Amino acid sequence: MIALVALLAVVGAACSSSASKPGAAGPVKVVAAENFWGDIARQIGGSHVEVNSIINDPSADPHQYESDARTAAHVADAQLVIVNGLGYDDFVNKLLSNTSHQGRAVLSVADTLGVNGHDANPHLWYDVQKADGVARAIALALAAVDPAHAASFAANVEPFRKSLLPLTRLLVTIRREYPGASVAYTERVPQYLLDAAGLRDVTPSGFARAIEDGNEPSAGDTQAMNTLITQHRIKALLYNAQATSAVTQHVQDLARENGIPVVPVTETMPKNESSYQAWQQHQLEALLRALAR
């Protein structure tokens, strides 16, 4: 659920500078650090928002993103900026500190969901059961910037919530048919999804952390991962398709050689997906097919 204090802080900040306005002049200019949060903002804002997403290339490693003048201009002009938080998109904070915009609101998804700590998993968009809470926070933040269309923003939350039901049903199916099944991943990108599905993550923690940090896993962690595969201790291997290396490719190849299903996941919503919900549904369906093999 939404962390109420964090949410009120976001909305209050926006209201303090926009309360004197009857509404935004034209669509609210929204900048989302990542395209999945931008997509949810588009669904909630409808025709009353103009959304620009900064990280939107599913073929690129988002950890290597470098901002440019165009991105800086979008952020400087934005009325609402949506960031993931937890250090995942710190480049936006740098852009915000270099620009000033009266009435600009900033919504941190991590703060909204109350997720914090230096070791917290930043891949919050995989916590699909809390996506409706993010949608509600976006609706309130938009209403603070554009009070004239507050009712429209609020009304769009319910259909968004309902559109998440197929994801919930898939999670229930996995929990029912494969309770506690062991899986592993190259990075903890899908961790929240696996937890919600009731699956047991047996990935050597040092292996996943090293890959996530761009380092070489230790020999011990590499051997532990190889053993999981060669001894068929996992039913599926998930890997980050946007951050591959010789090490992760080896793990994928080893899994395929041993008949372990391999499931790709991405950190950025692919361009061929119609929405955040469709993207996550397709990934859950792929996971279910893998477990069924």
pTM score, whole prediction:
0.90
Q: What does the pLDDT profile of the chain (293 residues) look like in tens digits?
A: 444 334 434 444 433 333 334 344 799 999 999 999 999 999 999 999 999 999 998 777 777 788 889 999 999 999 999 999 999 999 999 899 887 767 799 999 999 999 999 899 999 999 999 999 999 999 999 999 999 999 999 999 999 999 999 999 999 999 999 999 999 999 999 999 999 999 999 999 999 999 998 899 999 999 999 999 999 999 999 999 988 899 999 999 999 999 999 999 999 999 999 999 999 999 999 999 999 99
* Domains present along the chain, CATH in parentheses: 4-163 (3.40.50.1980), 165-292 (3.40.50.1980)
Identify whether the C-beta of residue 35 lies closer than 8 Å to the C-beta of residue 132.
no
CB-based contact 87:62 (threshold 8 Å)? no
Q: Please say whether the beta carbons of 290 and 283 come within 8 A.
A: no
Sheet bearing 105-108, strands edge to edge:
49-55, 28-34, 80-83, 105-108
Distance from C-alpha of 40 to C-alpha of 112, rounded to nearest angstrom: 15
